[in-house]
Amino acid sequence: MQTIKFPDKATWNTLLQRPVMDTTALEAKVEAILRDVRDNGDQAVKKYAAEFDKVQLTDLEVKPEAFAAAEAALEPALKAAIQQAAQNITTFHKAQQEKTQVVETMPGVQCWRKPVGIEKVGLYIPGGSAPLFSTILMLGIPATIAGCKEIVLCTPSLHPAILYTAQLVGISRVFTIGGVQAIGAMAYGTETVPKVYKIFGPGNRYVTCAKQLVNKRGVAIDMPAGPSEVAVLADDSCVPDFVAADLLSQAEHGPDSQVVLVTTSEKVLADVEKALQAQLDKLPRKSIATAALDNSKMILVPDIDTAMDMLNAYAPEHLILACRNELNVADKVINAGSVFLGNYTPESAGDYASGTNHTLPTNGYATAYSGVSLDSFVKKITFQQISAQGLQQIGPTIEAMAAAEGLDAHKNAVAVRLQ
């Protein structure tokens, strides 16, 4: 990790830049695959599975008996852990349900808003080097609570934990499709895969690009997302070994991940760097984490206020506050996806089991985007009902405004009723 001491504020934008790449060629390649899937359906999906994943697919959909086999193959301890995480995530997301409230804005004029589950949603879970069954919990549980009528899952991984978790959260249709072709199949529909209205889930730069391209054509997505990241604010009350572990927990996601340490203590810089090396040497994914650390920085600042100004400018996906008075410091957070307070709240708790959602805005999008929640799976439809007496009250207001805008038919829609 690069160490920077007391950087001038004028340099922060450059200092806090994420790793970037030219996506022009990437978009052209992804666009061609999406177009092929749109035009040729299952045939194209199978072609790209053979080309990219080296898999000859006959059946795209997982058969019912595979779920029973997956449950039988899974260790009881892991099943218990998944069930506990599911319970916590369910509890947290159920608390986000809203009751419909009728508001009388003036006598005889009633307005209300009703949340309605998005009918058809698609979840994408990448294969890669880790079976991300935890993301099925994070997406499938709120989708179920929201009342989405059709929830489909695309993943190239048939790891038993993937299939067990999908069944646990109520996903009955799982397709063994990965990559760009999975996004295209859910966006456009094929002979086998149903078209959905909104697509959720992480993925590599190809998948992310595919989601953004189908979004331009009217298919909603959860959010723009890039490589995973964490920022840690630490003062001399932190435990350097804990800080190093948190930095590495994100660095092992991928070589394009980024981790940032902002500290008010020169001793913390030295201690964390030492702990990083000791822990890194023991990691099975050492080469991945090492590449991510090359993109990463340790920054020394004079005080907590400067640290928070810098971190709000960075807008991290995950923010850990390993400092004194962490609750007071948390009040200063403006831009972050999810915040972890104190020395005993590791970021991995939010990744797996505390209850909050781990699908979060990256790449600075936390300045304007929230993480996935129950709201991500619902539309909120407004309703209104006006009585005859209510129209007498509000009608002249509508007529005056419509006339001023030169929209006489709008005015007349009220006038004919008042007459």
- The DSSP code for 324 is T
Candidate list 93, 159, 229, 317, residue with the active-site label = 317
Q: Containing H/E element for 392?
A: helix 388-404
318 is in an annotated binding site: yes
**Is 48 annotated for ligand binding?**
no
- 317 labelled catalytic: yes
On whether 181 is known to bind a ligand per the annotation, the reply is: yes
Strand partners, 2: 297
- Asked whether residue 393 is marked as a ligand-binding residue, the answer is no
Residues 374 and 142 sit within 8 Å (Cβ to Cβ)? yes
What does the alpha-carbon distance between residue 178 and residue 361 come to, in Å, rounded to a whole number? 22
Burial 86-123 (b: 16+ CB within 10 A, else e): bebbbebbeeeeeeeeeeeeeebbbeeeebebbebbbb
> Helix/strand/coil (H, E, C) string of 230-277?
EEEEECCCCCHHHHHHHHHHHHCCCCCCEEEEEECCHHHHHHHHHHHH
Annotated binding residue 93:
no
* Residue 8 is labelled as binding a ligand: no
In the residue annotation, 318 being an active-site residue is answered as: yes
Adjacent-strand bridge partners of 220: 198
| CA atoms of 126 and 124, how far apart (whole Å) | 6
Is residue 250 marked as binding? yes
Q: Which of 93, 159, 252, 318 is catalytic?
A: 318
Q: Determine whether the annotation assigns residue 17 to a binding site.
A: no
Binding site: residue ranges?
124, 181, 204, 228, 250, 253, 318, 351, 405, 410
Residues designated catalytic = 317-318
